[in-house]
C-alpha cells in the first residue's frame, strides 16, 4: 500500500505534518514452500510468519525537535483521501506500531527528508495489525 501526501498522520499524541508518502510493506520472514516428487514446481506455499512495515517519509522545511526513537510504541493513524475531499475518505489505524528507525537525508540546505520506519504489531498474532474504516467527518 502506498499513500502519497496523506492528509493526516498521527503517532500517539503526535501529529506528523509534511508527510510526502506513507508506504506499507508486507513481507514474509519465513515462507513455507513445498515441492512434490512429480516435478520441479512448488505445489504449496504459505506465509506463516509475516512482517508489516510502515515507512513514513516527511519533507521537512523547518526544525523538527520531536524525539522519536527506536522502540517507541503508540497507535499510528492515517487518513486516505483519494480526491482530496471527504468523499471515500478512510481512516487506517494500527493500534500498536513500534518505531525501528528514524533517519534523515539532507537533500538541500533548506530541505531534509525524514524517514520513520515502524513495525505493526498484532494484538494476538492472528488479527491483522491494520484496520480501516470510513473516516469520521
Partner 1 sequence: MPSSFDKASLFNSGPHRFRRLPSGVQTIPAVALDGVSPGTIPLGPLELIIEVRGRLVAPTDAALDALLAAIHAKLTFPALAADLIDHHGRIYENMSFVRFESADRIDRARQVTLPYTARFIRFLNT
**Sites for partner 1 among residues 53-92 (CB under 8 A):** none
Looking at 45-53, 68-76, 89-97, 107-115, which segment touches partner 1 (CB under 8 A)?
45-53
For residues 33 and 45, is the Cβ–Cβ distance under 8 A? yes
- Binding segment for partner 1 among 19-27, 43-51, 82-90, 106-114 (CB under 8 A)? 43-51
Cα separation, 48 vs 89, whole angstroms: 32
* Residue carrying the nine cell digits 492472528: 126
Contact between 124 and partner 1 per CB under 8 A: no
Q: Can you tell me the distance from the alpha carbon of 35 to that of 11, in angstroms, rounded to the nearest whole number?
A: 43
> How many residues are recorded in the chain?
137
Three cell numbers written together for 47: 506465509
| Contact call for residue 34 and partner 1 (CB under 8 A) | yes
CB of 122: closest distance to partner 1 in angstroms?
A: 12
- Residue 36: strand, helix, or coil: coil
Quick one: which of 40, 46, 85, 137 contacts partner 1 (CB under 8 A)? 46
Chain residues binding partner 1 by CB under 8 A are 32, 34-38, 43-44, 46-50, 126
Amino acid at each position: 500500500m502506498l499513500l502519497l501526501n496523506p492528509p493526516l498522520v498521527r503517532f500517539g499524541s503526535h501529529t506528523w505534518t509534511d508527510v510526502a508518502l506513507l508506504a506499507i510493506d508486507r513481507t514474509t520472514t519465513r515462507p513455507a514452500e513445498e515441492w512434490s516428487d512429480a516435478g520441479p514446481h512448488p505445489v504449496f506455499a504459505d506465509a506463516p510468519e509475516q512482517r508489516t512495515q510502515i515507512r513514513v517519509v516527511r519533507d521537512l522545511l523547518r526544525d523538527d525537535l520531536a524525539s522519536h526513537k527506536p522502540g517507541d510504541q503508540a497507535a499510528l493513524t492515517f487518513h486516505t483521501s483519494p480526491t482530496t475531499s471527504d468523499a471515500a475518505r478512510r481512516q487506517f489505524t494500527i493500534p500498536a506500531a513500534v518505531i525501528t528507525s528514524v533517519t534523515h537525508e539532507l537533500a538541500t540546505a533548506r530541505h531534509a527528508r525524514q524517514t520513520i520506519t515502524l513495525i505493526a504489531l498484532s494484538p494476538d498474532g492472528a488479527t491483522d495489525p491494520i484496520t480501516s474504516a470510513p473516516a469520521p467527518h
